[in-house]
Amino acid sequence: HYFMPLHRRWRWAATLCALAAIVATALVWQPFETHFRGIGMTSGKTVAIFGWLDAAFAAGAYLLIAASLWLANSMRHHWGRPLVRRYYLPVGIIHVGIVVAIGAGTVATIFDSYAQKMVNFPEDFGQSLALPDGYSVTLSLRDYGAADDGGRGSGGFRAVADASWSLTRGGNILEERSGHTLFRDTRPPPQGERGAVRLMCEILDYRYARYADKSGRIMHPFIHRGLWRDVQVWFPSPEFTTGTSGKPEPQPGRLPVVLKTYPMMTWLWIGLAMALAGAAMTFAYTLADRRRRD
């Protein structure tokens, strides 16, 4: 309300209109419930407060608009004065960045999605595996064996798999990326130790992953960070057994591959970076003023 660069009467009118829009958003439009598909890890407790989140988003949009207009108005009227650099610009950047970060983080955690598929090793490797929403994944085992990489358990075992994903709409490839996944442990995963279902639960549920965490073991996905969404491909290691040469050899079996998407994650980091930049500007100018006074 106090950010809006308007006369007092018009400011109250704008705020009352914003309150009406907030109520309409929560009770009529309901964007969270309308666009929520329930294909991610969003909890039931979060779904129960969608109405409050709708209202909070509308209020945040009003704050974002007011802060942006306040910043633009202040720079237009006070451009060239030290007050712009010392106060108006940092404060405006901090508030805009916080709103962007909170909004993007909320969208990323509520509208996330995941798709899993059980694949047969080695028959399905090197083939395009279709997943929902037009995604497809291709896997191939690149390298495996003992490696002294500086982690816990000197000479630990690791398996690296090449992974690529593509997004297709109407037969046309809209986007495709490639990278690799990493599995590391103090020893190769033996047959029958965990099982495919347990591995999938560990990939999907971070709470279970923390419960089942073992020192020295790493499952690192291939992560593509895009402007509008992050895409992650998770894949563990095939099971191994000791071969005739005494070295671990991969064994046939069924393994889970999981693709996760998180929209707006990059904007979360952009918002946090903006808020941090504004705070750093304020700190630098405050420190400079103290030095001049001393």
For residue 160, which of 178, 176, 140, 174 has the smallest C-alpha distance? 140
In this predicted structure, the answer to whether residue 151 has a pLDDT above a threshold of 70 is no
pLDDT tens for 27-75 read 999 988 888 888 887 777 788 888 999 999 899 899 889 888 888 887 7
Query: Which percentage of the chain shows pLDDT scores above 90?
Result: 23
In which band, very low, low, confident or very high, does the pLDDT at 20 lie, cut at 50, 70 and 90? very high
For residue 202, which of 228, 229, 234 has the smallest C-alpha distance? 234
Instruction: Give every CB contact of residue 48 below 8 A, 6+ residues apart in sequence.
Output: none
Provide the phi-psi class of 262: left if phi over 0, else alpha when psi is between -120 and 50, else beta. Answer: beta
In which band, very low, low, confident or very high, does the pLDDT at 208 lie, cut at 50, 70 and 90? low
Instruction: Give every CB contact of residue 246 below 8 A, 6+ residues apart in sequence.
Output: none
pLDDT tens for 62-108 read 988 988 888 888 778 777 777 777 887 888 889 889 989 999 999 99
Residue 231 near residue 223, CB atoms below 8 Å: yes
Gap between the Cα atoms of 262 and 27, Å rounded:
27
